[in-house]
Amino acid sequence: MSAPDCSMPPVALVTGAASGIGAETAALFRRRGWRTAGIDLRPSDTDQSVQCDVTDAAAMRAAIDGIAAKAGRIDAAVSAAGYYEEGIDVCDISRAQWDSMLAVILGGTVNTCAAVLPHLMARQGGTIIAISSELALAGSATDLHYVAAKGAVLGLVKSLAAELAATPIRVNAVAPGPTDTPLLAADSLWRKPDYLATLPLGRLVRPDEVAATVYYLATEGVMYCGEVLSPNAGAVI
């Protein structure tokens, strides 16, 4: 482990960096002068684009070790990789659908944390930010596997934050409201005017609003420990 090069800008690692919230987050960190690394199944517009499946623990460890070796350090890790399925009755969620959702959203976050933590521990600093969902706070219908996985992420975040509280490493979550990304199908329930009219802000959240929240946590969030920040347009109050 080489000493961090303080003359170099900090490094943000983002999973799911090829699209949506992940892409917007990586872009914001880059605009603010950070170096960026993206992990996604597809190439991402980052300084180090690594194509890797977040469900593969060994591959994630290799990918993140490689990123750290090349960049010299990791300052912030953002776990944004995920996907969404809706309109499925609880009895119709197949075992494969359930397992896959848990593997990507919870497993991907676990694998990211496990691979990045040794690098943060080595330099005694840094932050991990997991993207959850407002659906995990208040529940939902016909997307039970997604809600369960995002809720599990919150439990992981709060407990890992407590476990690391005595260190300078911070772990927190961002739970956006329904966000205008490619994950929301054109005919998604969450895009319907009837639903949007129930929100105090009457609109979907924009990915840049989620990115701004992540950036705030990463740069001024030293007192947040196991918190959930909710840029959700009022979906859950």
Partner 1 sequence: MVPAAPGQAVALVTGAAQGLGRATALRLAADGFVVAVNDVADDGRLTDLAGQIGGLAVPGDIADPDAVTNMTRTVIGRLGRVDTLVANAAAMEMGPFLTQDPQIWWRQVEVNLSGHFRVIQSVVPHMRGAGGGRIVLIASGWGVIGHPNATAYAASKAGLIALAKGLGRELGPQGILTNAIAPAYIDTEQLRVDAADLGITLDEMRQRYRELVPTGQLATVGDIAGAVAFLAGPGGSAFVGQVLQPSGGVTRTRA
Identify which of residues 27 and 68 has a Cβ nearer to partner 1 in the complex: 27
Task: Output the smallest distance, CB 138 to partner 1, in A.
Answer: 12
* C-alpha Rg value of the chain to the nearest Å: 17
How far CA 10 is from CA of 47, 58, 105, 129, 225, in Å, comes to 12, 25, 26, 15, 21
Task: Output the smallest distance, CB 209 to partner 1, in A.
Answer: 4
Identify which of residues 60 and 161 has a Cβ nearer to partner 1 in the complex: 161
Is residue 146 annotated as a catalytic residue, yes or no?
yes
Residue 106 CA to residue 109 CA, distance in Å, equals 5
Report whether 105 contacts 21 (CB < 8 A). no
Task: Output the smallest distance, CB 5 to partner 1, in A.
Answer: 27
Report whether 101 contacts 146 (CB < 8 A). yes
CA 133 to mean position of chain CA atoms: 10
Identify which of residues 195 and 216 has a Cβ nearer to partner 1 in the complex: 216
Closest CA to 205 of 162, 165, 234: 234
Which residues of this chain interact with partner 1, rule CB under 8 A? 158, 161-162, 165-166, 170, 176-177, 200-202, 205-206, 209-210, 212-213, 215-216, 220-234, 237
Identify which of residues 20 and 176 has a Cβ nearer to partner 1 in the complex: 176
- Please return the burial class of 49, using the count of CB atoms within 10 Å of its CB with bins 0-12, 13-18 and 19+: middle
Residue 117 CA to residue 115 CA, distance in Å, equals 6
Which residue out of 146, 195, 215, 224 is catalytically annotated? Answer: 146
Task: Output the smallest distance, CB 42 to partner 1, in A.
Answer: 26
| Active site (catalytic) residues | 146
